[in-house]
Structure 1
């Protein structure tokens, strides 16, 4: 399907002329529709020159789409049908189409060059079928296709006829027979479905990957950025197709393929984790309870690993940087890490050396050589040598562990007690320390500071606002159980900001429910919500 943004781009920025009228408007003031604007009056649309107040097209239409300032035609809708009018309001293409969209089929630039009548067409739908017509109302591509997706100018494209997909050109010549149940464009190729199974063919129809897979989906790292790979699934096992090399680089042999860094992929099998490269060579054996890249950009950085319920740090050469002895490890940025046991935390460097003499309830992220530390009801800062400053009263708090946050949410909901729920809302929403960190670090991916500056709300109001919204959404929830927090990703590597993607899965009674807990982000090592919570339908 052609992306909507491309269609809209064509509608607002294309330039076209008939063969008889092909002026090139070099001067903006001479553009015929420069000051024209679709305008509504008494429920009907017309075209008005906003400078001269001259009515160019009368108020007789349900819809008018101005294509561009230099284009002397508009797309209009009347009595349920679409057609095309010229600058004087004369009907050029009658109102007999269910859909009508402008397409530039030339190599010319809309913004720099004028188009002749052979440079553009209209995609139309009539009696449920699609085709292309020109400005003379002649069929360029017969109106006989169930669907078609015109991707690249002048190139063959997928079309569906009689419920089967093939590839045709603009003249209707069949380049690939109509034999596929589905066809979807990917990087210089197509994913096709035949007899219920998926494969990949080239633009010329050559089979690149046989139809034997249950699904073929674009691979995305946990930072949500698409890479050149596609996950193929065969008998519930995952592999990787390399779209650039056009090869199956990793055969479907794994339960999951997770994060990647520099062409190295974390994979799972039988609930154990390992790392392989794009040659399917194991870098770390599939024997860990958990593996996580702490950097998605630099494979020389350590990985977070778990064995027998304890966390440690390792690298891809299998070198152990921190022993498997900790309850929790989090990145503090700058090559430092927070390690915790029994709720008490210290800071270590990339070689596993402890740099703090004292233990703390929580250690924040290093910004300009300083990190916040929390102890009891007081806080201070440490430098990169672990030396603390003067302690002062605590200006915030919350949950440093996502699972702890979600368990606290379940407890608050099941308590049916407003005081318990309010306490949770206060802990999960932004506080003065959140604001101080955002200001100090320059992190801009949250609207909080802007909203506070514009007085959209006050910091003190946020917990109450959250409480009122949350209480409405959870009123019908009973015996809530936490199932899965979904996917998290490293939103900002430098500041170790992590975010939750999408809703969290819970169980209420015997029903599974999905709840979005307000755009959760781990800011300075503390999970905070930056939007309202809501229950997904």
Structure 2
């Protein structure tokens, strides 16, 4: 009877999208595509997983040393994470083990969440007999970061410089804070909601926070960048470009619109671009809109439209009465004539 070898490395897991179980009610950020090159330079010399997962005839799996010695059996749904850990089920419960077969997290949990691109800490979940679920955080060494509680927990950020995780923890009281993987509150629970704006990018973390229908922009040390205000929406303007900028939009009175600005255009009255020091770098009398196929944006001043790039630099001063974005073709109106934008500047 031939056993089927199931040796999965971190790279293969990423390429086929295999991750740990994640409760849909607990959406979590993904670092895929955002981690800086310095992170990959640091981990490229990590040792490969010194073991293998071997599927048995009955559908279970064994963790074996490379020479075939069995370290742990009766596993199911097992995956190797980051060439460091195996997340698996045993007798219907999830746990985590290392390459030596040491149990890092006991097989006691109904779910275990971990960010697929990194492996520093794990969000564990247990359902009680009355169908209520408690969540906690266990670090890579098997120690508790946050004990099982009724709190709602989400992975919020990975600091690649310090190899450190951050989590949004919404306590049963309704107040939300930011907890690091050492168990210290970077931001004590004091907001109604916290939304990371530039997670995993290798830059200091900035967050939009909400409190009593007001929003603000803060950093991970709870320093205010844009103060709390009503009818205000804040998001990162250009996470992939430097310097990092933010888009602050003024909403119609009474609006509670959330999400990306491109999805709430009808709620936006005007907009501003703000730098990380809170300094205004550009204002618009209308929503700042991204052109569909280009890293360019329209803004409006004194009734005329202009064009900026993703660094907030003005490419064309406000001079157009209107514009039409047909994806691969962009037209601007000037003096009653429609002009192809690519005749005025070079488009990517």
What band does the TM-score fall into relative to the shorter chain?
Answer: 0.5 to 0.7
**Alpha-carbon contact 2:30-2:116 (below 8 Å) kept:** no
- 1:202 and 1:147 map into 2 onto residues whose CA distance is 19
Q: Which runs of 4+ in 1 moved over 4 A?
A: 7-10, 25-35, 48-52, 66-73, 86-90, 233-239, 257-261, 268-272, 276-280
Q: Deviations over 1:304-334 (max 9, x none)?
A: xxxxxxxxxxxxxxxxxxxxxxxxxxxxxxx
Partner of 2:19: none
After TM superposition, give the deviation of residue 186 of structure 1 in Å.
Answer: 1.2
After TM superposition, give the deviation of residue 30 of structure 1 in Å.
Answer: 7.3
Partner of 1:186: 237
Identify the structure with the greater helix proportion: 1
Q: 1:279 to 1:142 in 2, by over 3 A?
A: farther
Partner of 1:520: none
Structure exhibiting the larger radius of gyration computed from Cα positions:
1
Partner of 1:95: 148
Q: Deviations over 1:41-92 (max 9, x none)?
A: 454322356875x655333212123568995743212232321225675544
After TM superposition, list the pairs within 5 Å mapping 1:486-497 onto structure 2. none
Partner of 2:281: 208
**Alpha-carbon contact 2:285-2:302 (below 8 Å) kept:** no
- 1:233 and 1:245 map into 2 onto residues whose CA distance is 13
**Alpha-carbon contact 1:120-1:134 (below 8 Å) kept:** yes
**Alpha-carbon contact 2:30-2:115 (below 8 Å) kept:** no
After TM superposition, list the pairs within 5 Å mapping 1:115-154 onto structure 2. 115=163, 119-127=164-172, 128-145=174-191, 146-151=193-198, 152-154=201-203
After TM superposition, list the pairs within 5 Å mapping 1:337-348 onto structure 2. none
Secondary structure at the residue paired with 2:291?
A: strand
Pick from 98, 101, 110 the counterpart of residue 62 of structure 1.
110
**1:231 and 2:298 matched:** yes
**1:177 and 2:227 matched:** yes
Q: 1:189 to 1:134 in 2, by over 3 A?
A: closer
After TM superposition, give the deviation of residue 126 of structure 1 in Å.
Answer: 2.4
- 1:234 and 1:246 map into 2 onto residues whose CA distance is 15
After TM superposition, list the pairs within 5 Å mapping 1:133-532 onto structure 2. 133-145=179-191, 146-151=193-198, 152-155=201-204, 157-162=206-211, 163-179=213-229, 181-187=232-238, 188-196=244-252, 197-203=269-275, 204-210=277-283, 212-213=285-286, 215-221=287-293, 226-227=294-295, 229-232=296-299, 239-244=306-311, 246-247=313-314, 249-258=317-326, 266-267=331-332, 273-275=338-340
**Alpha-carbon contact 1:193-1:211 (below 8 Å) kept:** no
Partner of 2:8: none
Secondary structure at the residue paired with 2:288?
A: strand
Name structure 1 gaps, 5 residues minimum: 16-24, 109-114, 281-294, 298-537
Name structure 2 gaps, 5 residues minimum: 1-26, 52-79, 128-132, 239-243, 253-268
Secondary structure at the residue paired with 1:171?
A: coil
Secondary structure at the residue paired with 2:31?
A: helix
- 1:211 and 1:174 map into 2 onto residues whose CA distance is 23
Q: 1:107 to 1:43 in 2, by over 3 A?
A: same
CA RMSD of aligned residues (A): 4.5
Larger relative contact order (Cα-Cα within 8 Å, sequence gap ≥ 6): 2
**Alpha-carbon contact 1:36-1:48 (below 8 Å) kept:** yes
**Alpha-carbon contact 1:65-1:76 (below 8 Å) kept:** yes
Partner of 1:107: 161
Partner of 2:14: none
Q: Deviations over 1:457-489 (max 9, x none)?
A: xxxxxxxxxxxxxxxxxxxxxxxxxxxxxxxxx
After TM superposition, give the deviation of residue 191 of structure 1 in Å.
Answer: 2.0
Q: 1:239 to 1:58 in 2, by over 3 A?
A: same
